[in-house]
Amino acid sequence: MSEQLRLMAVHAHPDDESSKGAATMARYVAEGHRVRVVTCTGGERGDILNPKLAHDTTILADMPAYRRREMAAAAEALGIEHVWLGFVDSGLPEGDPLPPLPEGCFALEPLEVPVEALVREIRTFRPHVMTTYNEEGGYPHPDHIRTHEVSVAAFHAAADPEQFPDAGPAWEVSKLYYDVGFSLDRIRAISDAMHERGLVSPFEDWLERAATRPQRTVTTRVRCEEYFDRRDEALRAHATQIDPDGFFFEVPRDVEREVWPVEQFELAESRVPVEIPEDDLFAGLRRLSA
């Protein structure tokens, strides 16, 4: 029996891995486990969200290639392995009425196509645990919702030798989690701590919106405050998407480490006995790895 475990995180776009569960991944890498991120699309239709780069003609000339370089830098910062699933970003439709999604995009692919692709990755890597988004996508981006659908279907199909037999020998993933990175409890705790220190919280509008939405069930809180710096380095690597002077970096890290030193997850399915609450995605598996 080997003590090395394997975690696979399935994300929609490059940069999602750095804003959702990144410090947890860095912690498990530091502990000697293997962590692989699967990115479903190339982020081809993403806008430049960093105002400092908004008019950079080099980036505008080849956004897909630039985002690939950003992803490679983020993976290096976290110490993770990375693969592209190979589908095309759907973009975020805006307007009233909403425009149709572009032909050939990830969200319009027949479900079995990306499911087979992800099953192949699962059977190759053989993760003990997978993380992804909930049925709402975390937020309602069509690629995030599709990523949820694909991940759940692949979680089940990978274990069934009759499904996609050409994708490799069947592998049963033991646990599936949804990311709960921006819970109301977290936002409120950090905001209160900043107010107590005479600081302005960046979450005021967020709190008003979040208070009206149903909250997810948090089953698992992973201590990872020692790895916030690696998370931040990975975020900054996605320079087109993250303003280094913007929202993600307005909370002082000493405040965050003190009041919210964890990342949160919701256990969606488990094939091994569990005891809730957990403090480890590999709970129940550390003596069962192979």
Q: Provide the annotated binding site for Zn(2+).
A: 13, 16, 144
% helix, strand, coil for the chain, step of 5? 40, 15, 45
> 268-274: which pairs have CB atoms within 8 A and are 24 or more residues apart?
268/134, 268/152, 268/176, 268/177, 268/178, 269/155, 269/175, 269/176, 270/174, 270/175, 270/176, 271/172, 271/173, 271/174, 271/175, 272/174, 272/175, 274/175
Whether residue 132 contacts residue 151, with contact meaning beta carbons closer than 8 Å, is answered with yes
Is the distance from CB of 14 to CB of 64 less than 8 angstroms?
no
Find all residues with CB under 8 Å of 184, minimum gap 6, and list them. Answer: 207, 210, 211, 215
Rg (CA), the chain: 19
Residues that constitute the known binding site = 13, 16, 144
For Cα atoms 37, 63, 234, give the angle at the middle one, nearest 5 degrees.
40
Beta pairing class for 6-11 and 129-132: parallel
